[in-house]
Amino acid sequence: MAQKVRIGDTILLGLTCLTMLASLYAIFIYAPTEKTTGVVQKIFYFHLPLAFLSFFAFFLVFLASILYLYSQDVRWDIFAQSSAEIGVLFCSLVLITGAIWARPTWNVWWTWDPRLTTALILWFMYVAYLMLRKLLKPGVQTSNIASVFGIISFINVPITFFAIRMWRTIHPVVIDQSGIHISAPMVITLLLSLAAFSFLFVVLLRIRVRVEKVLRAYEELYFLLERNKKRLPS
């Protein structure tokens, strides 16, 4: 079985590297430089896939949480936790790339643009999810609690987005991120980048899940060992 895992992983890793290299080439050499904003616009090819994938990661947390509550199978709990971590990672990159894009383009490090702001709240919600897991004693109740929180958080995302958008329409957004003219080579580059980051996401998720499984098994083994040691022979 270990052999099978390695082959699958190697293929996946290979695909990731290939698509990454291809998309890097596409981003920096193949895709045309945008007329108005210049080279900085190319951050968009990182920013958008990252945003999509972080949202997708949190959707996976939502699904896995529901499945865990229904089945009480700890593997779903592990999956939810791992997806949340990767999601937070990708979301951090979304915020950072957003800032890097904003600075030369509009001369500010941050804009309270609805999508970026929602991403910020999203980041905090899933960091809260991870903090919840970290501060609670590991156990069935904690997994239940984290799952409920995962479900509530995800449902809150569209509501928060609407609220922020309503908040912004009072004072219309002067800065608009999507006013860029898109051409065909750009779309291809974007899709390639999306594929590359998706593979990366899957690879990272698989690794994280595996690490967590081993970690939990180890902790439980340790617990059992300690317990057996303490059993007095009388």
Partner 1 sequence: MSESTQAPIPPAVRISNLTKQFGFIRVLNGINLTLKQGEFLTVFGPNGAGKTTLLRILSTLTRPTSGNGTLLGYDLAQDGALVRYLIGVLTHHPLLFPTLTGYENLKFYGQMFQVQHLPDRIETLLHEVGLSEQRDQLVETFSRGMQQRLAIARALLHAPRLLLLDEPYTGLDHEGISFLTQTLKAFRAQGGTVIMTSHDFEKGLELCTKATILNDGNLAYYGDPTTLEEPFEAVYQRCVGSPSKAL
Partner 2 sequence: MNLMKQIWPIVWKDLLSELRTREVVLAMCFFACLVLIIFNFAFFTGMGDTQGGDTQGILAGMLWVAFLFAGVLGLNQTFGAEKDREVLQGLLLCPVNRASIYISKVISNLLFMSIMEILILGLFAVLFRVTIWKVLPALGLIIVLGTLGFVCVGTILAAMAVNARAREILLTVILFPMIVPVIIAAVKATEKVLAGAALPEITGWLKLLVAFDLIFFLLAYGTFDFVLSE
Q: How far is the CB of 41 from partner 2 (least distance, A)?
A: 22
Is position 145 an interface residue for partner 2 (rule: CB under 8 A)?
A: yes
Binding partner 2 (rule: CB under 8 A), the pick from 17, 22, 127, 209 is: 127
Binding partner 2 (rule: CB under 8 A), the pick from 152, 211, 214, 225 is: 152
Residue 223 binds: one of partner 1, partner 2, none (C-beta under 5 to 8 A by kind): partner 1
In the chain, the N- to C-terminal Cα span, in Å, equals 42
* The dihedral sign for the CA sequence 93, 100, 116, 191: negative
Binding partner 1 (rule: CB under 8 A), the pick from 7, 29, 36, 139 is: 139
Cβ atoms of 146 and 132 closer than 8 Å? yes
Binding partner 2 (rule: CB under 8 A), the pick from 12, 163, 191, 202 is: 163
180 Rama sector, left if φ>0, alpha if ψ -120 to 50, beta otherwise: beta
Is position 171 an interface residue for partner 2 (rule: CB under 8 A)?
A: yes
Is position 221 an interface residue for partner 1 (rule: CB under 8 A)?
A: yes
Query: How far apart are alpha carbons 122 and 54 in whole angstroms?
Result: 9
Which is nearer to partner 1, 48 or 132 (by Cβ)? 132
Query: How far apart are alpha carbons 117 and 207 in whole angstroms?
Result: 30
